[in-house]
Amino acid sequence: MALSEHEQRLLDQLEQQLHADDPKFAHSMASSSQRSMSTRRIVLGSLIAVGGILVLLLGIANQLILLGVAGFVIMGAGVYFATTTAKVAGDGPRPGKSAKATSTSRGSGFLSTLEEKWDERKRDDQP
């Protein structure tokens, strides 16, 4: 079900307010293709994990504890590599956002700002 124009505007305003009040949270929740898990990392991490399992089994078969521990560490590193996302160079604070603008919006509070906007819309809708 599609949103009406009014609902879409409200949603856009809420999103802008969230970005103004808590940019770090909003950035972490943003769906960007750069932060998604890549197939290459999953495949490479899986191959490393399988290699770690083979080294672990080799260590167990030859009764070499250090080789078994090394295999376990390699396996864990492969799983970690496969399940994490790569850091992107542009993942820092966004330029152009002034500290004054964020501090004034935080001082007023998210809910009070929403209430003010809601009251403003009600006044605008009345004939």
For residue 121, what is the DSSP state? H
pTM of the model: 0.45
- pLDDT at residue number 103: 44
- pLDDT at residue number 50: 96
- pLDDT at residue number 105: 45
pLDDT in tens, the chain (127 residues): 677 888 888 888 888 888 888 888 777 776 554 556 788 899 999 999 999 999 999 999 999 999 999 999 999 999 999 998 876 555 555 554 444 444 444 455 777 888 888 888 878 777 6
- pLDDT at residue number 127: 63
122 contacts: CB under 8 Å, gap ≥ 6: none
Q: How far are the Cα atoms of 9, 24, 53, 58 from residue 63, in angstroms, in the given order?
A: 66, 49, 15, 8
Q: How many Cβ atoms are within 10 Å of 71's Cβ, its own excluded?
A: 21
Which burial class, exposed, middle or buried, applies to 10 when counting CB atoms under 10 A from its CB (0-12, 13-18, 19+)? middle
